[in-house]
Amino acid sequence: MFRLPFFMACWTALAVFLSASDARGQCFDCAIDPGCFGGTYPVLCPSAMPDATVGEYYEESATFHLPPIVVDPGSGLTVDFLSMTVMTVEGLPAGLVFTPNILSGEYHPIQGDDYGCAVVCGTPLESGSFSVDLTVEVVASAFGVEETVFEFFSLPFTVHAPELEGPENLVFETDTLTGFAPLHVSCTSLYDGPMVMHSWDYGNGNGSAEPHPTAVYGQPGTYELSLTANVVQLQMTAFHWTTVGDGWNQDIDDVFGDPDLYFVLSGPQGPFYTSPTVENSLTLSLEDLSVVILNEQTHHIDFYDRDVITGDDWLGGWSFTPCGQATWPIQGDNAGELQLSNVVVETVSGMDIVTVLEMPDGLSGQEVASAPGMDLSPVPDKVRCKADLNGDQKLNVADVLGMLDSSEASEICLLQIVQEFNKLRLKP
C-alpha cells in the first residue's frame, strides 16, 4: 500500500469550504484564479482562511489546482490522480453557507477536473474556535495498481465576538426607555431568524417569546428589560438502521458474512455526510452525532453495502423534509429512525433600564400653548389622532381646541396629545 502525503497540505486547507450549514441564501458563483498553479503538486489559493466576526457578513472564495499526474517531491514517485471525493465535513460555525463549483464533491483530475473553486458566505451567529473535520476519499494509481486512501483532517477556524466599545446593548433596540404610564416600549431583537429562540423579560412579571414584541408598563417605577437569544442548529443527533434493503448478497464480497453498512446524507447542495462503516452487520446504530440538517429543506439518504472487490452495493434511498426537531421513521426498503434535535450553539443576552413616570393630573392651558408643535408623522394613519385641522402634520393649540369640540375619538386623541407632550418635556 502506498500513502499520499501531499493531500494533507492541500485538502486540510480546503476543508472549511465544503461544509453543510444553515442555507438561508446562496453564495455567489466562485471564479477560478488561473494564477493558482502548483505544477505537478496540488495547491490551494489562498493557503489560509481569514477570521470572521459574529454579526458581520462574511464572503471568501478559493481556487484549488489538482494536477492529473502528481510527483511526490520527497520520493519522486509518480501517481495518477484518478479521483477525489469529499465524504464528510462537519464543524463550520452556524450562519455560514457554502457553494463548491462541483456540488457532488467528486473531482476527477485525470478526466480534466484539474481546477476547482469554492466559496463560503453568510453572517456567523456563533463565536469561538472551531475544528472543521474533513474526511476525503482519494483514488490514485501507481505502477498500474489502483489504491483508495481515506484521509482525516481538522482545520481551525476562528469566529470573533463583536467588540463592544462601551456598555451599549447590542442585542436589542427599543423606541424609548422613559415615559409616563401607561408606557408602551417597542422592542426589536438584533438577532433574528427562524433558528433563533427569544426569551424577553420585561421586569414587571411579563415577557414574550416573539422576536419584536411590545412591552407595556402600567405602573410607575424602574424596570430591567432583558433579552436572552439562543441561536440553535437543527442537528441529526442519532441514527438507527434496523432493517437492511435487498441487493447486498449478490456478489463474492458477501459470500462469507453479512453486509458492511454505511449511508450517505445529501442536502440541497449535494452529499455532505458519509457515516462510518459497520462491518459484517445487519444493523447500524450511531449516537452522539452532530450533523447539521437544513430545516425545511429536502434531504436524501442513500444506503450502501461497502464491497472491496466488486464495488459498493446500493440498498435503496429515502427522502425527507424536516420541519423542526422530531424522531423520523425511515421509510422504503430500509427501516429505522433518525433523531433531529435543536442544539444551542450560541447564547447572547442584553439588558436596558426602563423608567416609567407617574402621569400628571393634567396640563394647563399655558403649558399646551407654550409647547412647540408635536410631530405626528411617525404615528401610523390608522391610529393617528385626526385633529390636525390645518394638515401641517403638527398639533397646535387651535387643533386641540377644535378637537375638544368634537366627541369622535376624543379619548384616544387626548391620550396621544398628553403622551407626545410628555416626551417633549423629558427632552433636555
Query: Domains of the chain: which residue ranges?
Result: 6-160, 165-359, 361-428
pLDDT level of residue 338 (50, 70, 90 thresholds): very high
Q: Which residues contact 223 (CB under 8 A, 6 or more apart)?
A: 202, 203, 204, 217, 353, 354, 355, 356
- How is residue 308 annotated by DSSP? S
| Among 189-198, 270-279, 367-376, 399-408, the least confident range | 367-376
- How is residue 358 annotated by DSSP? P
355 has pLDDT over 50: yes
- Between residues 62 and 298, the one the model is more confident about: 298
Reported as a single tens digit per residue, the pLDDT across 144-176 is: 788 877 766 666 778 887 665 545 677 899 988
Instruction: Kindly report the backbone phi and psi dihedral angles of residue 409, in degrees, each rounded to the nearest multiple of 5, phi listed first.
Output: 55, 25
Q: In what order do the strands lie in the sheet with 58-65?
A: 43-45, 58-65, 115-122, 96-100
Please indicate whether the domains covering 6-160 and 165-359 agree at the CATH topology level. yes
- Between residues 61 and 89, the one the model is more confident about: 61
pLDDT level of residue 380 (50, 70, 90 thresholds): very low
Question: Under CATH, which number does the domain 6-160 receive?
Answer: 2.60.40
- Between residues 104 and 236, the one the model is more confident about: 236
CATH 2.60.40.150 fits 165-359, yes or no: yes
Choose among 63, 14, 9, 3: nearest CA to 36: 63
424 has pLDDT over 60: no
Reported as a single tens digit per residue, the pLDDT across 185-196 is: 999 998 877 788
Q: Which residues contact 174 (CB under 8 A, 6 or more apart)?
A: 185, 186, 187, 188, 225, 352, 354
pLDDT at res. 398: 61
pLDDT level of residue 22 (50, 70, 90 thresholds): very low
Give this prediction's pTM. Answer: 0.48
